[in-house]
Amino acid sequence: MLIQKMAEHPAAFTPQNYAVWYEYVTGINPALSETLTRQFGNGERLDDATIEGLYLKYVSECNMDVEWALREDIQHLLRKLAESTIETEKQAYRFDTSLHAYGNTLKQNPDPVSLIALVKNMADDTSKMIDSMQDLQSELAASKQKVEKLHLELQSARGEALIDPLTGILNRRGFENSANATLSDQGALAKGLCLLMVDIDHFKTINDTYGHLFGDKVIRAVANTLKSKVRGQDSVGRMGGEEFALLLAETDISGARTVAENMRKTVEGCQIHRLDAQEKIGGITISVGVAEYAKDDSLLDLLGHADKALYASKKQGRNRTTVYTDVKAL
């Protein structure tokens, strides 16, 4: 289906094109989905330039509007440095020329009056050269501070691009980055690793019944619950919509099941206050799928196993935890 949809548009079959369409079709990138839905509604077709713009804005790790602004600041800074350096080089050339001229004059044994004037001119030129060098040093010092500030701003922008703005936890890309870093650590793998997939039950009904603002509040409440039940070395991310993922370090399958059940029961017991009415809504539940890392598993493998376990939880009536090994045994 994905390839068929791509073929309906003039953009070439590139990795960027595939990434944009994948995130749109799966619904894991709400901002991108909203933009494309609007464009398709207007009858727009995706060419190479449009795909590149969508990829840079919605798919790449950093908000490119921010990154380009920072790059322009750095380029402006470099232009100023270049201008200052060129001016200092000109001043140095003039000073060198003057020194040669003064040397030739001294060889001619000037009279005392001429010698005094020559020494004064040499002192003036030396003072100008020192001033020029000091200006350049000050410019370099100021530029160093600006570059460091711009670097921090860029790092901050990239960090923010990995955070889900609604919940404050990692977004899909942030979670994948964190999880892949853990999966590349052989020491961490040796201590045990489990992945949980979590889905809010009947979320569409919640939205339809109480409105999207309340739905957002439910998503935030669930995210806060999940985050409160894990430790500092664990990763919690919103994978899109009402779906979450957790990577539990130094945890075996028994411990992961305990964490999952603790989260599930806590959510089940919660009541969330409506903003537009004096009432609290309860009965909100989650379904959980749990998978344990096995030798040579990739993140994709773990996500797939946990997702199958999650599907089993939903198929069996929701509001329950299922472990992937139990699904395999069926």
The answer on 210 and 71 residing in a single domain is no
More confident residue, 186 or 245: 245
- Does residue 143 lie in a domain region? yes
Claim to verify: residue 312 and residue 276 sit in the same structural domain: yes
Domain of residue 259, CATH code: 3.30.70.270
Query: Domain holding 133: CATH number?
Result: 1.10.287
Within a domain: 278: yes
- Total domains in the chain come to 3
Q: Which domain holds residue 98?
A: 65-160
Instruction: Identify whether residues 296 and 202 lie together within a single domain.
Output: yes
Residues 181 and 324 occupy one common structural domain: yes
Report which of residues 325 and 1 the model is more confident about: 325
Q: Do both 193 and 221 map to the same domain? A: yes
Same domain, 93 and 212: no
- pLDDT by residue (tens digit) across 211-234? 888 999 999 999 999 999 998 889
Residue 166 resides in a domain: no
b (16+ CB within 10 A) / e for 225-259: bbbebbeeebbbbbbbbbbbbbbbbebebeebbeb
Does 241 lie in the same domain as 217?
A: yes
In this structure, the answer to whether residues 145 and 88 fall within a common structural domain is yes
Residues 262 and 237 in one domain: yes
Q: Is residue 167 part of a domain?
A: no
Query: Looking at the structure, do residues 274 and 125 belong to the same domain, yes or no?
Result: no
Specify the 3-state DSSP secondary structure of 307.
helix
pLDDT tens figures, 72-128: 666 666 677 677 777 778 888 888 888 888 888 888 888 888 888 878 888 888 888
Cα 264-162-240 angle, rounded to 5 deg: 45
Task: Please tell me the predicted confidence (pLDDT) of residue 14.
Answer: 72
pLDDT tens digit string along 185-207? Answer: 888 899 999 999 999 999 999 98
User: What is the pairing mode between strands 286-292 and 193-200?
Assistant: antiparallel
47 and 94 housed in the same domain: no
Residue 186 structure tokens: 């052989």
The DSSP line for 59-77 is: ISSS-HHHHHHHHHHHHHH
